[in-house]
Amino acid sequence: MPAKHIYFIGIGGASLNGIAQVLQQRGFKVSGSDANRSEVTDALIKQGITVHIGQKADNITPDIDEVIISSAVSDGPGAVEVAAAQKLKIPVHKRTVWWSRLMAQAKVAVAVAGTHGKTSTTAMLGVILAEAGLDPTVLVGGSVPDFEGTVRVGGTDCIVVEADEYDKAFYATRPTISIITNIDYDHPDTYPTVKDYTQAFRRFARLVNKRGGAVIACGDDGATRKALQNWHHRLYWYGNKNQLPGLKTTIPGEHMLLNAQAAAKAAHLIGVPFATIKRALAKFKGVERRFTLIGDYKGMKVYDDFAHHPKEIEAVIKTAKAMTNKPLAVLFQPHQQIRTRKFAPEFAQALAQADEVRLLPIYTVLGREQEEPTDSDEITKHNPKLKSLSFGDITAWLDEIAPRVEILLSLGAGNISAEIKKIVHHD
């Protein structure tokens, strides 16, 4: 009997490529498409996965048993492939269907959620469980040097999934342990109000009850405590008041130490000894674009970070300011128009904590923009200290500030990372 054929639309994406690799290793026939060639698609091809660069109806063939899409495919280039699959009556599912299936098979299934810190926490926990010999499968939303990518393909008995809340994706998880790192209103296109957002996390937390599991949550976060008030099931708090002694991280920042506390708490609940936990965290190489030093530009150390929410920006700026007595510079690219408009005053307040700040044009997200177009001036108008900057003027600005600045932060979830690397590395 031939292997079941799974086709991924947008296979180069952080979430889909990991699932694709897991399924290929488990004997499925895997193929897919992406709008653009990338290091990820090249790596998938080297593993024997057929990847079509460019999305068209002809890529969808009758031998495909199931099509998997991300949350943003409906309005993008991949929509033609979705239509072709539907015409051939091939089932089309979101990526989360495989979260459910893979987690249901596992004896230990951890879902890591939270507005901030879930990528680092997922990676840390995966590294700890691997050090403990549990051979976890780990699906994470960022590139992890310890895994050489966004996935660790391990066994079927233990899995860790970064469970994001956008599009209510984390409702599809089937955890034995759930982690909530914090709750800080985001994704207004999915959750119109703060109440909607908070209630979603409580609903997510209840999922562990189906498997007699436990919730691990940050007790330092007021919104998380409120979401879990009157909780009558297994619940373990972590934080500054509930620290596991002697934990150290290789990545600076109080927020990273909290992430380590979450991962350590989960690992200990699974049965990993403290000595193993500490040893693994001491070797942890971090996650790309999480306060990652990418190089030096005319004497300035340039750090790249995924921060694209006001609280994340605050945390990264606080970490950087503790490392220098000189002016701190920030280059920020807002991510998604609706988020920019909704949180503009908060962005301005967070960014103003740096000394030199420039904002690039907004990175628009295909399939997720629902409002009238806006631009970075939506943020800069709240503080004259903040200025807009075009991509073409980045180098000139860096040349101007380099003599007085020791650290530059490149922040945002869009293409800012690729652009700043080209300049720093002289590509």
Is 172 a residue whose pLDDT tops 70? yes
Mean pLDDT, the chain, integer: 90
65 with 153, same domain?
no
- CB hemisphere CA count around 75 (13 angstroms): 8
Task: With CA atoms as reference, report the closest residue to 414 among 340, 342, 336, 354.
Answer: 336
Residue range 370-399: mean pLDDT, rounded: 84
User: 199 vs 70, which has greater pLDDT?
Assistant: 199
| Whether 275 and 322 share a structural domain | no
pLDDT digits (tens, 9 = 90+) for 77-129: 678 999 999 999 999 999 999 999 999 999 999 999 999 999 999 999 999 99
Residue 335 has pLDDT above 60, yes or no: yes
Q: Are residues 128 and 269 in contact, defined by beta-carbon separation less than 8 angstroms?
A: no
CATH of the domain at 338: 3.90.190.20
A 10 A CB-CB count for 36 gives 9
C-alpha angle 158-160-163 in degrees, rounded to nearest 5: 145
Residue-level pLDDT at 106: 97
How confident is the model at residue 427, as a pLDDT? 56
Residue 275 exposure: Cα atoms within 13 Å on the Cβ side = 0
110 in the same domain as 80: no
Residue 365 has a pLDDT of 66
- Of 94, 115, 143, which residue is a domain's last? 94
Q: Which amino acid is residue 11, in one-letter code?
A: I
Residue 311 pLDDT? 87
Residues 134 and 191 in one domain: yes
Q: Which residue has the higher pLDDT, 14 or 310?
A: 310
Total domains present in the chain: 3
Q: What is the pTM of this model?
A: 0.83
Whether residue 1 is predicted with pLDDT greater than 60 in this model: the reply is no
Same domain, 255 and 392: no
Q: Give the confidence band of 375 by pLDDT, cuts at 50, 70, 90.
A: confident
- Res. 367: pLDDT tops 70: no
Does residue 268 share a domain with residue 122?
Answer: yes
Closest by CA to 169, choosing from 183, 187, 147, 194, is 187
Helix and strand tally (H, E) in the chain?
Answer: 15, 18
Considering 249, 283, 317, which residue would you say is the last residue of a domain? 283
Range of the domain at 24: 5-94
Q: What is the pLDDT of residue 363?
A: 83
Residues 102 and 229 in one domain: yes
pLDDT-based confidence at residue 372 (cuts at 50, 70, 90) = low
Identify the CATH number of the domain in which residue 240 sits.
3.40.1190.10
Q: Are residues 85 and 134 in the same domain?
A: no
At residue 216, the pLDDT reads: 97
Decide: 200 and 188 in contact? Cβ < 8 Å.
no
Same domain, 41 and 135: no
CATH number at residue 90: 3.40.50.720
Residue-by-residue DSSP string for 390-404: -GGGHHHHHHHHTTT
Query: Which residue carries 């130490």 as its tokens?
Result: 257
Portion of the chain with pLDDT greater than 70, in percent = 95
Give residue 76's pLDDT. 63
Residues 300 and 203 placed together within one structural domain of the fold: no
Same domain for 65 and 179, yes or no, is: no
Domain end among 234, 265, 283: 283
Question: pLDDT (tens digit, 9 = 90+) per residue, 275-332?
Answer: 999 999 999 998 888 888 999 999 999 999 988 889 889 989 999 999 999 999 999 9
Structure confidence at residue 366 as a pLDDT band (50, 70, 90): low
Same domain, 47 and 60: yes
Q: How would you list the strands of the sheet with 235-238, edge to edge? A: 149-152, 137-144, 158-162, 108-113, 177-180, 214-218, 235-238
Q: What's the confidence (pLDDT) of residue 307? A: 87
Closest alpha carbon to 156 in 92, 93, 106: 106
